[in-house]
Amino acid sequence: MNDVTPETFDVSVADRLAAEALIVDVDGFEGPLDLLLSLSRTQKVDLRKVSVLQLAQQYLAFIEQAKALRIELAADYLVMAAWLAFLKSRLLLPPDPTEEGPSGEDLAAHLAFQLERLQAMRDVAAKLMARDQLGRDFFARGVTQQVERVRKVEYTATLLDLMQGYARIRTKDEFRPFVMDRDAVFTMEQALERMRGLIGFAGTWTDISTYMPDGWNIDPGRWRSATASTFAASLELAKEGKVELRQSDTFAPIELRRKEPRGD
């Protein structure tokens, strides 16, 4: 049993690649077909000087040898040889103004662009493979040891903080929403109804306080409500044109009287 060493493995791979390479030997060039395309791109080899007949004969001979290798290999070289023959025919023939499609120079430029992209991908792949790889050049970190977490609570509150917290809790428990006593409110509707009933008896200027409800001056809150509603009702009546208002000075008493019709 033969031992396989890295040196013998590299030699076998090199021999296999050399056997699978298509070597052309035509006028002006001798080398692999993909190198011929690369040299034609850089104008180091003129495709006009390459014999298509010799290229086809050498290609057919290579196909016979490739049958023992891989069929996909023969297909790849068939595509390259077809492109080379087509490109040479477009470069040899004079341009036809009526023919549609790209010219030979355009095809050559497109092929050059594709070869540049292929070379760029090969360069990037080589750079990626040259980088350090996990498991070969560096290794992942092992399983870490379980760490136990212990929580320790330390209280830093002072006596003042405790008293303030207790006060907030008691204040929250004793909170009661504000509920207004509707009986202690003199509404504007009540004031309008009262003033409409009394305005007919006021022929001269009368203090607005005389229209206040009786008995509401005992409670300050009820008195403020009656004053505001009576004043708002007097403004509404003045807006309707039923009364006239006047005030002789700032903070002076407000007086009103019934407004007589213009026809009277």
Higher pLDDT, 163 or 40: 163
Is the pLDDT reported for residue 227 higher than 80? yes
Quick one: fold of 183-258? Arc Repressor Mutant, subunit A (1.10.10)
Backbone angles phi, psi at 26, to 5 degrees: -125, 175
Is the pLDDT reported for residue 2 higher than 60? no
Which segment of 3-17, 57-71, 186-200, 228-242 scores lowest on mean pLDDT? 3-17
Backbone angles phi, psi at 22, to 5 degrees: -85, 115
- Please state the pTM of the whole predicted model: 0.33
Is the pLDDT reported for residue 49 higher than 80? no
What pLDDT is recorded for position 6? 45
What pLDDT is recorded for position 4? 44
Is the pLDDT reported for residue 171 higher than 60? yes
Residue-wise pLDDT tens digits, 189-210: 988 888 888 887 766 888 888 8
